[in-house]
Amino acid sequence: MATKRISPILKQLIRKPIARTTITDLSTIQQRSITYMPRPGDGAPRGVTLLPGDGIGPLVTGAVEQIMEAMHAPVYFEKYQVYGDMPKVPIEVIESIKKNKVCLKGGLATPVGGGVSSLNVQLRKELDLYASLVNCFNLPGLPTKHHHVDIVVIRENTEGEYAGLEHEVVPGVVESLKVITKFCSERIAKYAFEYAYLNNRKKVTAVHKANIMKLADGLFLESCREVAKKYPSINYNEIIVDNCCMQLVAKPEQFDVMVTPNLYGNLVANTAAGIAGGTGVMPGGNVGAEYAIFEQGASAGNVGNEKLIEQKKANPVALLLSSAMMLRHLQFPTFADRLETAVKRVISEGNHRTKDLGGDSTTQEVVDAVTAVLD
């Protein structure tokens, strides 16, 4: 009877277990999303108007400049010195923003009570930056009382209580007008629903006080309802502003996109920012049909904090994330992803945090840490 002979190579294969690719192995393979195909010329450097502003502004805008240089981002800055106590925004600054279409700015201090009018409001009106957007979300590794917070507050930016129409009727009696128009209410509602649609958001909540201001806030609600009908795939609801603040503190994860008149948006955005991790980490911007200004999302109440300025310990995270928003706006998505990923990694690792986040790092130490982990 003939015997079967097994070759030496076959013997080795039989003895050696066959390597199998496991799910764990697959997870270690570097993943890359489908490529971004730029149009010819998209890589040309873009000019950005830079306004360092008051107080901590030069510290945090300087942080952005360093990171952009480290990434070799295709942007260059046209820097202008503008301060909150100026009577008005210099004409050359307005011309620069209109030329570049995009501006990055630090905080501008606004005098309380008397003094000059707010330069922030002047910029919004001059450039018709009718939509303010603030993204309030939990950062991985940053402890907060609430989890799963990811709220976008979209605020009408040009009218309402910020119209600046005030006068003294008789001594001791001041009249301040709140202006609400159908045109401005409709366009901010359209922007909110368009944002939700383009970003795969599921719900838009209109914030109002129409139970008391029946005509003004009633007109705002009417406009939101009309626009909502055109987006049947997006859930729409309404909430009175005082109940909204209570619900934000109690159960913020119920909110997704919020659309508000001017003053309510300021209050809601700052409340949401405080819940999600603080104003020092929340990005934001102001946008209109032609121009956009990116800045710290929630109130820059620490803009004039002398101790932070002296110790050089201002938190640059909010403006760095706002800069990532700016890079996406300029159609540089890969640079935006690199910057956002690096910032989130530094926050998550927890070794370099400023005092407001429970650490003791300087602005420069945070910048160096972000630079070190840039992909």
Q: pLDDT digits over 302-347, tens only?
A: 676 788 888 999 999 999 999 999 999 999 999 999 999 999 999 9
pTM value is: 0.88
C-alpha span between 220 and 356 (Å, rounded): 36
Q: What are phi and psi of 231, to 5 degrees?
A: -125, 70
Give me 119's structure tokens: 């330069």
Q: What residues contact 8, with CB distance under 8 A and at least 6 apart?
A: none
Expressed in angstroms, the distance from the first to the final Cα of the chain is: 67
Beta bridge partners of 293: 103, 286
Tokens of 138: 């939990």
For position 9, what pLDDT does the model report?
45
- CB-side exposure of 130: number of CA atoms within 13 Å? 17
Enclosing H/E stretch for 208: strand 203-208
Q: Which of 232, 235, 209, 229 is nearest to 221 (CA)?
A: 209
The pLDDT, as a whole number, for residue 26 is: 44
Task: Choose among 327, 302, 329: nearest CA to 316.
Answer: 302
Q: Rounded distance, CA 24 to CA 170, Å?
A: 76
Give the three-state DSSP class for 200. coil
141: left (phi over 0), alpha (psi -120 to 50) or beta: left
Give the C-alpha distances (Å, rounded to integers) separating 289 from 124, 188, 203, 280: 12, 12, 24, 28
- Go through the domains of the chain in sequence order and give each one's CATH number: 45-110+118-135+279-374 (3.40.718.10), 145-276 (3.40.718.10)
- Which DSSP symbol is given to 306? H
* Residue 155 to residues 28, 258, 268, 285, 356, Cα–Cα distance (Å): 42, 8, 9, 11, 26
Residues of the chain scoring pLDDT < 70: 1-32, 113-116, 300-302, 304
What letter represents residue 126's amino acid?
Answer: E
Please give the angle made by the CA atoms of 77, 81 and 87, to the nearest 5 degrees: 135
pLDDT digits (tens, 9 = 90+) for 25-72: 544 445 667 888 888 988 899 999 999 989 899 999 999 999 999 999
- Cα 180 from Cα 217, distance rounded (Å): 8
Distance CA 152, CA 194 (A): 13
